[in-house]
Amino acid sequence: MGLLALQNDLTSGKTTCRDVVTSYLERIESQKHLNAFLEVYGDEALDRAEVIDSKIKSNNAGKLAGLVIGIKDNIAYKGHPVSASSKILAGFNSNFSATVVERLLAEDAIIIGRLNCDEFAMGASNENSAYGNVLNAADNARVPGGSSGGSAVAVQADLCMASLGSDTGGSIRQPSSFTGTFGMKPTYGRVSRWGLLAYASSFDQIGPITKSVEDMAMILEVMAGVDEHDATVSQQPVPDYSKNLSLPDKQRIAVIRDCLVSDGIAPHVKEHTEKAIEKLKAEGHTVEFVDFPYLDYMVSCYYVLTTAEASSNLSRYSGLMYGHRSSDATDLESTFKLSRSEGFGEEVKRRIMAGTFVLSSDQYDAYYTKAQKVRRVIQDETFKILDNYDAILLPTTPTEAFKIGEKSDDLIAMYLADIFTVQAPLAGIPAISIPTGSTPENLPFGLQLMTGRFEEQKLLQLSHYLYELMTN
């Protein structure tokens, strides 16, 4: 059931917010083995549900009344723990709420808990959490994707109606593809990053994971917009996305040729993408292949820049002010070394060291400066395509979800799981994964759409249309 249908039932008295929350709490308890939630706010959610039930009866409830939502464990919620699934922040409670959390609560959403993720949002499989793997509900032997794996599985397994994730290089869209959910990375600057624990500040964006485009549109229009706490947020007005999801006219859609001839793409993913192309053409849309000869450079460029930013951002976790402090420390230097060594996981340490290396004085120009230039080339070439087309269509991921442990010893293969998702954050444009495909074993995978900067309305309209086209 979507949010609008639920709100109709709430208004008519067929159900109550308390009943809805109780149902989800029972479901969460029965699916604990998935390890999607790090903490469930059961009593708090029930108390809030009763308040919102009263508001509904008096006809003054907010836009999101009845929406039961989980938040990724790198989004601050006042008075609640936030750890980015890392031991370095064990015992830390946030003293303020992220802007997105404040806006959801202001419109009467109910936050039911915080969700597991790859440590500091670094990973493509959710195998890097200090609190254990999240399991894919479609096949518990497979990963849910990362880093927002808990957020995706919570929606996939009906543990909440929607969730918030963060996307740096594909961390919403890739797990959405692996779990058969909708996941969006908005334009950089569309949604405030205030209260998001930073991984790479010029890439990170908070976005929704849902079961429908309609719910996604309603959540996005509440979260997006100007925020005095975040100077990178755009001043552009926020449309009423949910009020206009009909595609107004025929579209011009580009397909990046290299994506469909990539060595790692699974045959069923390629065939499904080709099927989508043919269906769009049959409906009168223009779909054309375009060349984008930078596919092999994007992942390298992304990892140089994001590890550099991570090296800087994570330097604040020192064992001095908050979070984990080593009991074996004897002086300032040992406090730094031991607290960070004990608190950070292997993947986070690896990326901090890589970032520190590319920022070092003798390597800065060879790596960081060059990667910034490559990023500009990728951005410019992406914009050129979008100057001539309404959207870019490509697979979200080269394959369906892989097995737990399958890529743990092959870091290059793990990093290449992001090969189709890093273009959007490098260019700063919005992108969405749409759950339209599945393997013969019923393992889901998605199609991805990208549009121009701040063209979320067009992206949502086309996504709604494409989903209906491919599933009906």
Token digits of residue 53: 């039930």
Residue 238 carries which side chain, given as an amino acid letter?
A: V
State the pLDDT confidence band at 94, using cuts at 50, 70 and 90: very high
Burial 134-157 (b: 16+ CB within 10 A, else e): bbbbbbeebbbbbbbbbbbbbbbb
* Mean of the per-residue pLDDT values of the chain: 97
Calculate mean pLDDT across residues 77-98: 97
Mind listing the pLDDT tens digit for each residue in 28-41? Answer: 999 999 999 999 99
According to DSSP, the residues that pair with 434 across neighbouring strands are 447
Mind listing the pLDDT tens digit for each residue in 298-325? Answer: 999 999 999 999 999 999 999 988 889 9
Distance CA(173)–CA(147), nearest Å, equals 10
DSSP alpha helix (H) spans, 208-294: 213-223, 257-260, 267-282
Distance CA(151)–CA(165), nearest Å, equals 6
Calculate mean pLDDT across residues 260-285: 95
Q: How much is the pLDDT for 264?
A: 87
Residue 388, φ and ψ in degrees, nearest 5: -110, -10
Architecture per CATH, domain 3-243, reads as Alpha-Beta Complex (3.90)
Distance CA(275)–CA(470), nearest Å, equals 9
Q: How much is the pLDDT for 329?
A: 93
Distance CA(458)–CA(245), nearest Å, equals 8
Distance CA(213)–CA(394), nearest Å, equals 18
Task: Name the residues annotated as catalytic.
Answer: 72, 147, 171
Contact (Cβ atoms closer than 8 angstroms) between residue 211 and residue 228? no
- Count each helix (H run) and each strand (E run) in the chain, helices first: 16, 11
Mind listing the pLDDT tens digit for each residue in 380-413? Answer: 999 999 999 999 999 999 999 999 999 988 888 8
According to DSSP, the residues that pair with 185 across neighbouring strands are 431
Mind listing the pLDDT tens digit for each residue in 338-351? Answer: 999 999 999 999 99
State the pLDDT confidence band at 200, using cuts at 50, 70 and 90: very high
pTM for the complete prediction?
0.97
Contact (Cβ atoms closer than 8 angstroms) between residue 161 and residue 126? no
Residue 240 carries which side chain, given as an amino acid letter?
A: D
